[in-house]
Structure 1
């Protein structure tokens, strides 16, 4: 008979779609008598992540979703923060204040567009992933999503953010800052600053999304009232 460790290792390599017809007796050896089935664990994790992603993008994808929340508000990139610290005392940082506002507006506009990207990202769970997440710490599902998707999400999110920053006028403001700042206070070209701003917006935008996904997961795990469906109550109850 296969021991528990061998079973988990063997099953963990299989995608969920390949495990739908597994013998319940085998799953019982892995999870224990009366515990979750593979399908329930998978459905529960997906439901938790779907809730977390949906709530995160709803919270962030509105006016002041980023800008009005000091926890996720996106700061200017370091090079522009340094410039602002020089200009603010003499009241000459108006453009940079506006640029930060439009950077956050860009993230607010980009967030809802990325909904399908995030939802699709939860589809690669294996049985091992599902078991580990159910048994893991209170942000295990969020950590899984972040670890497995940040690189691909960055590539997918970047053009969305670039379009949003262009629509809000943030990229135009970069050109204006570049023209008006005294020579020597900025290094690099306006194009360099735009690239930095886009990458910075993507990085902090994703941080904000994962912050809210983690909060949702923690609530589901800790608060029975947050388990708003039968499968969430079954998995996390």
Structure 2
């Protein structure tokens, strides 16, 4: 890992700490608490925290293996990424005349970029999960099917966005999306009365990809969390069985 990435991760952990998300540590003498659904009479706060983190880490692995592959976004109706609104409107107008080819290509490349970016985001999700405090983890154990995922998303979406942006930018460049967008922008300038994309089109495309890419991750983390809570077969470790059994 290069120095820049190390600094980014340290800054991420610091930002989470400032928001009250410092990592909890198991210490001798922690109280035992009764948690609904636990198969033991009670669990320590450290056990609850470890169980929630394990469930979320399983969710990250499930998400990456499901959507971080070819067609994981593109052919997935649940999370397929449309073009940003301005481009989508142009795409719709041109499609009536059979002229939306470049925009269709751009949409495909946008989804290909997300598919490539997601596996590279594993570490930033692992860091976010490890930074949950024990108190927070106990609260989400008692919550609903997606309580842990909702908590994680609500507390970390902003810093995750900052760290995921360069990953998505590189992925979109490698997928050819940025080149296609530049070509489309130049072409529209030559067509009288055609809508213009503006200087912020590239940044808008990247922001759009980042938001939808992260949303797609959280959709599948939530699905795995719900499965772990509901299905004993999904509790593949001792800590998951203790917390959710």
Question: If the length of structure 1 is used for normalisation, what is the TM-score?
Answer: 0.88
Q: Which has the larger radius of gyration?
A: 1
The CA deviation at 1:135 is 0.2
Quote the Cα distance in structure 2 between the aligned partners of 1:122 and 1:41.
Answer: 13
Q: Quick one: which of 209, 212, 220 aligns to 1:201?
A: 209
Contact 2:21–2:133 (CA<8 Å) still a contact in 1? Answer: yes
Q: Which ranges of structure 2 fall in alignment gaps of 5 or more residues?
A: 1-19
Contact 1:13–1:128 (CA<8 Å) still a contact in 2? Answer: no
Quote the Cα distance in structure 1 between the aligned partners of 2:194 and 2:42.
Answer: 63
Quote the Cα distance in structure 2 between the aligned partners of 1:205 and 1:13.
Answer: 23
The CA deviation at 1:151 is 0.3
Quote the Cα distance in structure 2 between the aligned partners of 1:159 and 1:214.
Answer: 25
| Compared CA separation, residues 118 and 87, structure 1 to 2 (3 A) | same
Instruction: Pick the structure with more helix per residue.
Output: 1
Alignment of 1:145 with 2:152, yes or no, is yes
Q: Quick one: which of 194, 200, 210 aligns to 1:185?
A: 194
Corresponding position of 2:94: 87
Quote the Cα distance in structure 1 between the aligned partners of 2:21 and 2:118.
Answer: 33
Question: If the length of structure 2 is used for normalisation, what is the TM-score?
Answer: 0.85
- In the TM superposition, 1:1-237 aligns within 5 A as 15-17=23-25, 20-24=26-30, 27-28=31-32, 30-31=33-34, 34-181=41-188, 182-189=191-198, 191-237=199-245
Corresponding position of 1:4: none
C-alpha RMSD of matched pairs (Å): 1.8
What stretches of structure 1 move > 6 A for 4+ residues in a row? none
Quote the Cα distance in structure 2 between the aligned partners of 1:166 and 1:154.
Answer: 18
Could you give the per-residue CA deviations for residues 109-157 of structure 1, whole angstroms, max 9, x where no partner exists?
Answer: 1011111010111122222211111100110110111011100010000
| Compared CA separation, residues 179 and 215, structure 1 to 2 (3 A) | same
| Compared CA separation, residues 59 and 225, structure 1 to 2 (3 A) | same
Contact 1:79–1:186 (CA<8 Å) still a contact in 2? Answer: no
